[in-house]
Amino acid sequence: MDPVILFFLFGFVAGLLGSDLKLPSTLYDSLSIFLLLAIGLKGGQGLATQPLLPLLPQIVAVVVLGVLLTLLAYAGLRTLFHFDRPNAAAMASHYGSVSVATFAVAAAWLASRGLDVEPQLAVLLAVMEIPAILVGIVLARGISRDTDWRSLGHEAFLGKGVTLLLGGMAIGWAGGPQGLQPIRGLYFDLFKPVLGLFLMEMGLIVSRQVGELRRRGFTLVLFGLGMPLVSACLGIGTGLLLGLSPGGVTMLATLAASASYIAVPAAMRIAVPEANPAISLAGSLGVTFPFNILLGIPLYHWMASQWMKS
Amino acid sequence: MDPVILFFLFGFVAGLLGSDLKLPSTLYDSLSIFLLLAIGLKGGQGLATQPLLPLLPQIVAVVVLGVLLTLLAYAGLRTLFHFDRPNAAAMASHYGSVSVATFAVAAAWLASRGLDVEPQLAVLLAVMEIPAILVGIVLARGISRDTDWRSLGHEAFLGKGVTLLLGGMAIGWAGGPQGLQPIRGLYFDLFKPVLGLFLMEMGLIVSRQVGELRRRGFTLVLFGLGMPLVSACLGIGTGLLLGLSPGGVTMLATLAASASYIAVPAAMRIAVPEANPAISLAGSLGVTFPFNILLGIPLYHWMASQWMKS
Amino acid sequence: MDPVILFFLFGFVAGLLGSDLKLPSTLYDSLSIFLLLAIGLKGGQGLATQPLLPLLPQIVAVVVLGVLLTLLAYAGLRTLFHFDRPNAAAMASHYGSVSVATFAVAAAWLASRGLDVEPQLAVLLAVMEIPAILVGIVLARGISRDTDWRSLGHEAFLGKGVTLLLGGMAIGWAGGPQGLQPIRGLYFDLFKPVLGLFLMEMGLIVSRQVGELRRRGFTLVLFGLGMPLVSACLGIGTGLLLGLSPGGVTMLATLAASASYIAVPAAMRIAVPEANPAISLAGSLGVTFPFNILLGIPLYHWMASQWMKS
Amino acid sequence: MGMHTEKRTLLTVFTEASIEQVLIRDMDRLGIRGYTISDARGKGSRGVRDASWDESRNIRIEVICDRPQAEMLLGHLQTRYYSNYAMVAFFTDVEVLRPDKF
Amino acid sequence: MGMHTEKRTLLTVFTEASIEQVLIRDMDRLGIRGYTISDARGKGSRGVRDASWDESRNIRIEVICDRPQAEMLLGHLQTRYYSNYAMVAFFTDVEVLRPDKF
Amino acid sequence: MGMHTEKRTLLTVFTEASIEQVLIRDMDRLGIRGYTISDARGKGSRGVRDASWDESRNIRIEVICDRPQAEMLLGHLQTRYYSNYAMVAFFTDVEVLRPDKF
Ligand SMILES: Nc1ncnc2c1ncn2[C@@H]1O[C@H](COP(=O)(O)O)[C@@H](O)[C@H]1O
Ligand SMILES: Nc1ncnc2c1ncn2[C@@H]1O[C@H](COP(=O)(O)O)[C@@H](O)[C@H]1O
Ligand SMILES: Nc1ncnc2c1ncn2[C@@H]1O[C@H](COP(=O)(O)O)[C@@H](O)[C@H]1O
Ligand code: NA
Ligand code: NA
Ligand code: NA
């Protein structure tokens, strides 16, 4: 098993056993800044060696995908799981968006199998963070007058995550593979061990979701496992439509299947206050995130390969 | 002189001169998390290549050693140094336990001399943190009804230090030398420079003990130098009995001679509130730690070699 | 363009756009500790291979240079820009002192062009932090009785920056190139990527100066661009007088042209409370720092080459 | 006889860190001239908030002003935030030296 | 006439960070329904505690409740912790809006 | 009847972190026996101080003592620091248990 997954499991078990282990919150913040920058840099340096124009249709495609996933999740939560409107909207928003940690694990998984991923997947990662937030808000409250669109737009486009991804990409693109040479030692070579440390803390955080899960268990587990499977299929479909490589299709499936646990919760807490944040987090962090990194990624890769063969 | 020792001396001198230098406490915490994980990983990857059963008698032996050292220190403090019961118990507990920073310096010292250490020494390090705490509490208050054993057991077994050591070891063991390859760049290659930074802060902390030392000087210095010498002899004896390599014997002697300054103070502050924490820390940090890393380690190695020859 | 400059520009633009991006303040502190130590280590290891005596006249020369620059800046601010006495003194003190980040960027710039810099420039960097502070205080309040010289001396000589530079140098000098081998991986090889992260935060901080700049604009911009040009000439002159190499002359010019934004503001806030800190920071951070790292360094190098040829 | 001071009201609010920016904007809009914010953790009717990660961080907001303004601000918080966010607020009587500032 | 508020007591405790978990357990056991904790440093009869490392960190604990409960909690702290730990505690009168919460 | 407590004054100061050491030295010199300090951010007449870097960090200082000493300390702060530093200070009445400590 990949050592970064072992770090996750270790954090999870330590959390369940009630260990005092705890990363300083500043360290966690710093690690996530590093990972976002590194992903951006890697994507950007790849983009530097190819024309940018073909990116446009891909961006449009994943925006549509993000909107679709959010609507689908909302419909499912309302009709099959009888969620009330605000909670369904908030939860749907999480599943329509993406998880950077899941992206990072998939990148490590694909790399260790020698599977290339198109550099623009990092762009698509950044793009896919956003539409679900806006759709989620509209679902929760309709298009009302007193929605503070300015601050929501700010939250969506200038949030820390998107800024760092895009900034890293800009630096990587401007520097190119040659220019980044002197900084590879940190941002590329140490990516995996840093990801391990980050996942250890993720394991601790996930372990804290178990209580909530026990309370609402069945519903959340069912949705948290079912939704990513549906999303992955749509992701694979989109990837094939865009003519991505096997690695690229797997990655897009993983992105579609992943659920946000940083940007979206922060935005929903402000925009849809009536939604209980504990529910969406228990789903996205407590079920979907571990499922994706432990079983989902290999599964999506297998599904992608099957489809590509046929 | 090893550069990590130079970092320690620099921090110590800067502290004595009253410099404003101060590591952010979060950085200090982060560095110690890193060191504990790295020590665990290294030990675990070593264990992956050998059978685990022979470990059992070694674990039993060091538990006995830890109990013995605590009792010995207690007896000495009560009879020779006329400490009162709580302070003697608390102090004894520090000296019966171990110091991770001292272990790290010894590991660096032995490695730079090409001396191998059995990987299980990292296991023994984790094991030896615990018995002294429990013995110290019993010494302080007998086995009374209102001791909160649950929270003490928690403190002892699920404290941050032990969790990280054992977790790192589990990851290292599950991954093996091959699996850890992609994360070596951080946890193995950068161990020494990170240890340097950590020791710089240790130097600053040690310099703050000087005031307390001046107040109680003689007693603390005498005990802080004498006890590790006694402990090292018992450590060497145990090491020979267990048939360890020269590096392993030196390391076990160093462990025995080292005194805790993280896990034990935290546990004693809660379990033996009447003990003055300033006294034990001045001894373990102000005298024993610098003695061990500057002179003790080479001395114990020399003693071990002499004994092994004869 | 050097990737570290790209990091700076990214931070600056993100700040201007009002992004939520923000480095945890502990991370910023940690990065600056790392950079100061690394600069010191590098300088110190260089000094280990040469006699120390010739350093003395160089130290005296840069002390004189620092005093001169402060007086010159003060005279200019009083007569040409009509600053009141405390503000002129505080501002002059910033420009008579030096900026470590600018030094680091210049070091990276020169290294990537294969230009050697004498190791003692790190010593001169530490030395030049100090005289401007003392001169600034005397300019602001004359030599009065109630100046708390003790705490100012402390601030100047035992401040975090100077301590780390000198400490790093001592370690580097004692260890020598050979002894530092095991810690190169962090302090030397990762210097540039860490500098990038640091400059990203600098960009964010600089972007916050824009408001103040807009308010007092013209004056500050004029002085913030003019003063470094004058200082660089004096720096080049001093460098030639001391017989430094082309790299060394460029570096000394850069040091002279750079303005402090850490040590001096802290000292001035206490010693010259009537001065408005926003003004000096807007000048040194908002104008001079970006000018130096974007245009100044290449310009000073070109000027130095011209002069050395003639 | 002592210093001349005047009475003001200190409004203290314990709430979720996630709405810090929103509350700052509200206070600016409501004409609050000064406030102080610090980090906290705690427990209340909405469970334990132990600051172990972003979602469970608390803040403490303190505003010194005259009583009517304090009541106005608290009224606003009550209508907008009390039902959906972890939030506790209370008044304390304090004495200030430069009453024109508050 | 203003808002309708009720009087409660705020108990503030400055003490060593090392016993945070112990005190939380005590408060839970004593039926305290809410508290807020933040980090601090300081000086008192037990010397300077400058938060430079774990052993010298302080915390501030704040509990709003009715007077009898505040006195009960302080009484407990006094018997259990006053003699062996750096600890200072005091009461302040405060006004709350939702008295049933405290 | 309740616990026996005595009245004291709590002086709270919000000010710039850059003068923490200076103020500590002042308090020591003025015979203040105890104080507590914590980190803060805020806004006041000198603008927003958001703790985003050293220059914009605030602190909160709290001192419990008798009224005359509190007024003496505040008087000192007023003459020395009020005009040049971001600073706000106020008194609160508090009740303490061990009056000899303060
Ligand atoms: N009785 C109390 N005393 C002090 N702080 C409280 C109290 N109740 C709640 N808090 C704080 O206010 C936050 C929100 O409270 P609640 O809305 O009751 O969950 C908690 O996380 C605590 O930090
Ligand atoms: N007079 C005081 N005013 C404010 N805080 C105090 C005072 N005395 C003590 N403290 C705080 O309470 C802690 C413990 O006090 P002590 O038990 O007196 O050492 C100190 O570290 C300070 O943080
Ligand atoms: N009305 C107020 N209520 C609470 N805190 C305030 C108030 N005014 C100012 N402050 C705090 O005191 C600091 C200095 O205030 P000032 O000197 O007015 O800039 C600010 O940065 C705030 O942290
Ligand atoms: Na998704
Ligand atoms: Na020991
Ligand atoms: Na200069």
* Amino acid, res. F3: M
Interchain CB distance below 8 Å, A174 and C23: no
**pLDDT at C181 (0 to 100):** 94
Half-sphere exposure of residue A139, counting CA atoms within 13 Å on the CB side?
32
Q: What is the mean pLDDT of residues E21-45?
A: 97
Chains that touch D (3 or more CB pairs under 8 A): A, E, F
What gap in Å lies between CA B153 and CA B167, rounded to an integer? 18
Interchain CB distance below 8 Å, E34 and D40: no
What gap in Å lies between CA C208 and CA C285, rounded to an integer? 10
* Sequence-ordered alpha helix ranges (H) in chain B: 3-16, 25-47, 55-79, 85-96, 100-112, 121-128, 131-141, 149-157, 160-180, 184-187, 191-207, 210-241, 246-257, 263-271, 277-281, 289-291, 297-309
Three-state SS string across chain A, please?
A: CCHHHHHHHHHHHHHHCCCCCCCCHHHHHHHHHHHHHHHHHHHHHHHCCCCCCCHHHHHHHHHHHHHHHHHHHHHHHHHCCCCCHHHHHHHHHHHHCCCHHHHHHHHHHHHHCCCCCCCCHHHHHHHHCCHHHHHHHHHHHCCCCCCCHHHHHHHHHCCHHHHHHHHHHHHHHHHHHHHHHHHHHHHCCCHHHHHHHHHHHHHHHHHCCHHHHHHHHHHHHHHHHHHHHHHHHHHHHHHHHCCCCHHHHHHHHHHHHCCCCCHHHHHHHHHCCCCCHHHHHHHHHHHHHHHHHHHHHHHHHHHHHHHHHC
Q: How far is the CA of C258 from the centre of ligand 6 (A)?
A: 4
Q: The tokens of C214 are what?
A: 């807009």
Q: The tokens of C85 are what?
A: 């006495």
The ligand placed nearest to the CA atom of residue B257 is 5
What is chain A's length?
A: 310
**pLDDT at B130 (0 to 100):** 87
**pLDDT at A146 (0 to 100):** 67
Q: How far is the CA of A226 from the centre of ligand 6 (A)?
A: 63
Tokens 């020591």 belong to F28
Interchain CB distance below 8 Å, A183 and C3: yes
φ, ψ at F90 (rounded to 5°)? -155, 160
Interchain CB distance below 8 Å, F2 and E67: yes
- Given a cut of 70, is residue C13 above it in pLDDT? yes
Three-state SS string across A230-259, please?
A: HHHHHHHHHHHHCCCCHHHHHHHHHHHHCC
Per-residue confidence in pLDDT tens, chain B, 310 aa: 789 999 999 999 999 999 989 899 899 999 999 999 999 999 999 999 888 888 999 999 999 999 999 999 999 999 999 999 999 999 999 999 999 999 999 999 999 999 999 999 999 998 998 899 999 989 998 876 666 677 677 777 788 888 999 999 999 999 999 999 999 999 999 999 999 999 999 999 999 988 888 887 788 999 999 999 999 999 999 999 999 999 999 999 999 999 998 889 988 998 899 999 999 999 999 999 999 999 999 999 999 999 988 7
What is the three-class DSSP state of F35? strand
**pLDDT at C215 (0 to 100):** 85
φ, ψ at B177 (rounded to 5°)? -55, -40
**pLDDT at C217 (0 to 100):** 77
Q: How far is the CA of B256 from the centre of ligand 5 (A)?
A: 4
- Determine the distance from the C-alpha atom of residue A165 to the mean position of all C-alpha atoms in its chain, rounded to a whole number: 12
CB of B131 closer than 8 Å to CB of B73: no
Q: What is the mean pLDDT of residues F69-79?
A: 97
- The answer to whether residue E53 sits within a structural domain is yes
Q: How far is the CA of A256 from the centre of ligand 4 (A)?
A: 4
- Determine the distance from the C-alpha atom of residue A217 to the mean position of all C-alpha atoms in its chain, rounded to a whole number: 23
| Ligand 2 atom nearest to CA at E42 | 23
Domains defined for chain C, CATH in brackets: 23-309 (1.20.1530.20)
Three-state SS string across B78-118, please?
A: HHCCCCCHHHHHHHHHHHHCCCHHHHHHHHHHHHHCCCCCC
Q: What is the mean pLDDT of residues C235-261?
A: 97
What gap in Å lies between CA F102 and CA F100, rounded to an integer? 6
Interchain CB distance below 8 Å, D3 and F75: yes
Size of the E and F interface in Cβ pairs below 8 Å: 61
The ligand placed nearest to the CA atom of residue B67 is 5
- Determine the distance from the C-alpha atom of residue B220 to the mean position of all C-alpha atoms in its chain, rounded to a whole number: 18
- The answer to whether residue D27 sits within a structural domain is yes
Could you tell me if the CB of E17 is within 6 A of ligand 2? no
Could you tell me if the CB of D36 is within 6 A of ligand 3? yes
Identify which of B15, B34, B6, B19 has the alpha carbon closest to the alpha carbon of residue C41.
Answer: B6
Chosen for mutation from B208, B274, B285, B289 (greatest number of chain E CBs closer than 10 Å) is: B208
Report the mean per-residue pLDDT for chain C.
93
Chains that touch C (3 or more CB pairs under 8 A): A, B, F
- Determine the distance from the C-alpha atom of residue D80 to the mean position of all C-alpha atoms in its chain, rounded to a whole number: 14
Q: How far is the CA of C15 from the centre of ligand 4 (A)?
A: 29
Domain of residue E83 covers 6-97
Q: The tokens of C239 are what?
A: 């460098």
Chains that touch F (3 or more CB pairs under 8 A): C, D, E
Encode B228-264: b = buried (16+ Cβ within 10 Å), e = exposed. bebbbbbbbbbbeebebebbbbbbbbbbbbbbbbbbb
Nearest CA in chain B to A14: B163
CB of C120 closer than 8 Å to CB of C47: yes
What gap in Å lies between CA C289 and CA C259, rounded to an integer? 7
- The answer to whether residue D60 sits within a structural domain is yes
**pLDDT at E101 (0 to 100):** 85
- Residues 6+ positions from A222 with CB-CB distance below 8 Å: A81
**pLDDT at B197 (0 to 100):** 97
The CATH number linked to D16 is: 3.30.70.120
**pLDDT at C149 (0 to 100):** 73
- Residues 6+ positions from D11 with CB-CB distance below 8 Å: D61, D62, D63, D64, D65, D70, D73, D74, D89, D90, D91
What gap in Å lies between CA C20 and CA D20, rounded to an integer? 13
Interchain CB distance below 8 Å, C163 and B21: yes
Interchain CB distance below 8 Å, A273 and D81: yes
E75 touches chain F (CB under 8 A): yes
Q: How far is the CA of D63 from the centre of ligand 3 (A)?
A: 8
Tens-place pLDDT, residues F35-58:
999 999 999 999 999 988 888 999
Three-state SS string across A177-235, please?
A: HHHHHHHHHHHCCCHHHHHHHHHHHHHHHHHCCHHHHHHHHHHHHHHHHHHHHHHHHHH
Q: Which of E68, E71, E90 sits opposite F94 (nearest CB)?
A: E90
* Amino acid, res. C40: G
Q: Which of C23-27, C149-153, C235-239, F7-11 has the lowest mean pLDDT?
A: C149-153
What gap in Å lies between CA B254 and CA E65, rounded to an integer? 53
- Given a cut of 80, is residue C143 above it in pLDDT? no
- Given a cut of 60, is residue D1 above it in pLDDT? no
Pocket test for ligand 2, best of F36, F39, F59, F100 (most atoms within 8 A of CB): F36
Nearest CA in chain F to E43: F34
Size of the D and F interface in Cβ pairs below 8 Å: 61
CA distances (Å), B193 to each of A198, B122, B188, C89, C153, in order? 21, 20, 10, 41, 32
- The answer to whether residue E102 sits within a structural domain is no
Q: What is the mean pLDDT of residues F9-36?
A: 96
Q: The tokens of E87 are what?
A: 């600890």
Which pairing describes strands D35-44 and D58-65: parallel, antiparallel, or unpaired? antiparallel
CA distances (Å), B250 to each of B129, B258, B308, C9, C294, in order? 18, 12, 11, 53, 55
What gap in Å lies between CA A105 and CA A250, rounded to an integer? 12
- Tally the domains of chain F: 1
**CA-based Rg of chain F, rounded to a whole angstrom?**
15
φ, ψ at E49 (rounded to 5°)? -125, 95
- The answer to whether residue D13 sits within a structural domain is yes
Instruction: Please indicate whether chains A and D are in contact, defined as at least 3 beta carbon pairs under 8 Å.
Output: yes
pLDDT along chain A (310 residues), means of 10: 93 94 92 94 91 91 97 97 95 96 96 94 91 92 72 76 93 95 95 96 92 85 97 98 96 97 88 92 95 98 92
What gap in Å lies between CA C15 and CA C290, rounded to an integer? 14
Could you tell me if the CB of E46 is within 6 A of ligand 2? yes
What is the three-class DSSP state of C81? coil
- The answer to whether residue F38 sits within a structural domain is yes
The ligand placed nearest to the CA atom of residue E73 is 1
Instruction: Give CA torsion, residues C94, C97, C101, C104, to 10 deg.
Output: 160
Interchain CB distance below 8 Å, A151 and D53: no
- Given a cut of 90, is residue C59 above it in pLDDT? yes
Q: Which residues of A touch C (CB under 8 A)?
A: 24, 26, 29-30, 33-34, 37, 154-155, 158-160, 163-164, 167, 170-171, 174-175, 179-180, 182-187
Q: How far is the CA of E49 from the centre of ligand 2 (A)?
A: 9
What is chain C's length?
A: 310
Identify which of A293, A281, A88 has the alpha carbon closest to the alpha carbon of residue A198.
Answer: A293
Interchain CB distance below 8 Å, B277 and E85: no
Q: The tokens of B62 are what?
A: 């060091």
Nearest CA in chain C to A24: C26
- The answer to whether residue F102 sits within a structural domain is no
What gap in Å lies between CA B245 and CA B248, rounded to an integer? 5
Q: What is the pTM of this model?
A: 0.94
Which pairing describes strands D87-96 and E35-44: parallel, antiparallel, or unpaired? unpaired
Where residue C190 falls among pLDDT bands split at 50, 70, 90?
Answer: very high
Q: What is the mean pLDDT of residues E12-33?
A: 96
